[in-house]
């Protein structure tokens, strides 16, 4: 039975005066169930609870916070299959992809537990005899955490783990497409011993939930994952109360294949990274810049591997790619392919809804070549299972094209020459780079972008400090 609830002050709330929202299975277009949403009363109650929770949690020692964080990770592992099922039902990704997501999410709580124990200030001798300089790090306050729908568990976990490690309280708003799995995640937190009020969950529209919280001066920090357009709105809304922001925004990752690259390895990883979660990954490579000398071989192999993928309902363990999460994503894919075709591009595989699927937001793994510079897919974040391949004359052209968009989240470089790779990576305007790998997000390392892909980092030692304020005290002799 499908369940979803708000969480305020340690209690699950399954009914409110506000309207309920429908949650649809993208593989079948059938109704999974409905979820309660927050109105003004729930928003006000969540802020009050978070203020009380902050008073309690900020005074909890880092070592005790670490114990709770480890319990959260342990409970998530115990309940992993339930979380996996909910993610697959709500978002459509395969059970394997959902399992990888849940596993990675637990690692953020484990990592944050270790980092919490390392938090502390420091002292320096002053400039005059008997004086002392003290620096301390204090939790910033109430955090508004806004998670996207494509990785509902891991995106929420990144924000929750780092906030809790720092000693902050949190009001989390999940995407309306995936409230059930995040509600189940919050139950893990409360069952692990997070005090009442420290973590609160509000489901609802941006107008009902986000806007009043952005206007509330009690909310001191915002951590957002989503589109650049929405990120820009949040930056503007934050100005009046001068909130601190972590913005993980859109991406349009270049995948550069140098002349000496292992074509088989590059093609295999290209398909894996592009088509996982039906292409709905902010770091997924979407613009493939391939040296002309190996362009034909690379395109043929990517096409063959993409065509061989089994598409279907993610609940079937034999399926390799599920549906897109929403109808608007399916329509975006159709629009991008139509635009490319109209401009003379060649579709080497895919290009539409797969045969035999009369329901569900399915779209074929698609490969486009012969793309003119004006093609929309080379400028817009596609977030769909479409690979756009462009041949280039040399690495310099690849870098120039890679940097030509305003996105700067991730990039990938494949080749054998360390000197050539070094020249490319030093010039790429992005926050994370994979060299002969597509693994660029992990708990122990900082993750985030530059330019219009945002600022701030999630993961690594840098991320916790985004939730801390620095205080300097100068002690002079009395």
CA angle 277, 281, 285 (to 5 degrees): 105
Evaluate whether 310 touches 318 at the Cβ level (below 8 Å): yes
User: How far is the C-alpha of 384 from the C-alpha of 227, rounded, in Å?
Assistant: 14
Evaluate whether 439 touches 91 at the Cβ level (below 8 Å): no
Which token pair is 223?
Answer: 């951590």
- Reported in sequence order, the residue ranges of 359-443 that DSSP labels E, i.e. its strands, are 366-369, 386-392, 410-414, 432-435
Distance from the Cα of residue 52 to its chain's centroid: 29
Q: Which of 90, 248, 364, 381 is catalytic?
A: 248
User: How far is the C-alpha of 285 from the C-alpha of 446, rounded, in Å?
Assistant: 19
Only one residue has tokens 């992809």, namely 97
For 226, the 3-state DSSP assignment is: coil
Evaluate whether 284 touches 250 at the Cβ level (below 8 Å): no
Share in percent of the chain as helix, strand, coil (round to 5): 40, 20, 35
Active-site residue, 282 included: yes
Q: Which of 177, 282, 364, 458 is catalytic?
A: 282
Evaluate whether 414 touches 436 at the Cβ level (below 8 Å): yes
Distance in angstroms between the alpha carbons of the first and the last residue of the chain = 67
Catalytic residues: 248, 282
């Amino acid at each position: 039975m499908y369940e979803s609830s708000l969480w305020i002050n340690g209690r699950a709330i399954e009914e409110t005066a506000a309207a309920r929202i429908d949650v649809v299975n993208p593989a079948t277009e059938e109704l999974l169930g409905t979820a309660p949403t927050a109105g003004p009363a729930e928003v006000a109650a969540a802020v009050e609870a978070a203020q009380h929770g902050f008073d309690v949690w900020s005074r909890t020692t880092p070592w005790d916070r670490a114990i709770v964080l480890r319990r959260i990770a342990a409970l998530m592992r115990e309940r992993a299959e339930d979380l996996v099922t909910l993610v697959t039902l709500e978002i459509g990704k395969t059970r394997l992809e959902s399992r990888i997501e849940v596993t990675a999410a637990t690692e953020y709580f484990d990592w944050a537990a270790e980092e919490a124990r390392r938090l502390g200030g420091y002292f320096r001798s002053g400039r005059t005899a008997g004086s002392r300089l003290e620096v301390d790090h204090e939790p910033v306050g109430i955090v508004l955490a806004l998670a996207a729908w494509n990785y509902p568990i891991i995106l929420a976990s990144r924000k929750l783990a780092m906030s809790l490690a720092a000693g902050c309280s949190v009001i989390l708003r999940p995407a309306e497409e995936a409230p059930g799995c995040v509600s189940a995640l919050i139950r893990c937190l409360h069952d692990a011993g997070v005090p009442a009020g420290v973590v609160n969950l509000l489901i609802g529209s941006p107008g009902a939930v986000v806007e009043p919280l952005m206007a509330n001066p009690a909310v001191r920090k915002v951590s957002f994952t989503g589109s650049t357009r929405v990120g820009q709105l949040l930056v503007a809304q934050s100005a009046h109360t001068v909130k601190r922001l972590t913005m993980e925004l859109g991406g349009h990752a270049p995948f550069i294949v140098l002349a000496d690259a292992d074509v088989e390895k590059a093609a295999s990883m290209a398909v894996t990274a592009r088509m996982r979660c039906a292409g709905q990954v902010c770091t997924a490579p979407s613009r493939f810049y391939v040296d002309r000398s190996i362009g034909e071989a690379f395109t043929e192999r990517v096409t063959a591997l993409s065509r061989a993928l089994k598409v279907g309902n993610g609940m079937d363990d034999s399926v390799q790619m599920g549906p897109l999460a929403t109808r608007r994503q399916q329509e975006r894919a159709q629009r991008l392919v139509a635009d490319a075709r109209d401009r003379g591009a060649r579709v080497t595989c895919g290009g539409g809804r797969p045969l035999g699927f009369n329901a569900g937001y399915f779209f074929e793994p698609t490969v486009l070549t012969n793309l003119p510079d004006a093609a929309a897919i080379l400028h817009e974040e596609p977030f769909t299972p479409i690979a756009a391949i462009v041949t280039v004359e040399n690495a310099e052209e690849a870098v120039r094209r890679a940097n030509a968009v305003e996105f700067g989240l991730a990039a990938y470089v494949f080749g054998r020459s360390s000197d050539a790779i070094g020249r490319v990576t030093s010039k790429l305007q992005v926050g994370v780079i994979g060299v002969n790998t597509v693994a660029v997000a992990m708990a122990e390392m900082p993750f985030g972008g530059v330019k219009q892909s945002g600022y701030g980092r999630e993961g690594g030692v840098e991320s916790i400090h985004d939730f801390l304020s620095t205080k300097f005290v100068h002690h002079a002799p009395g």
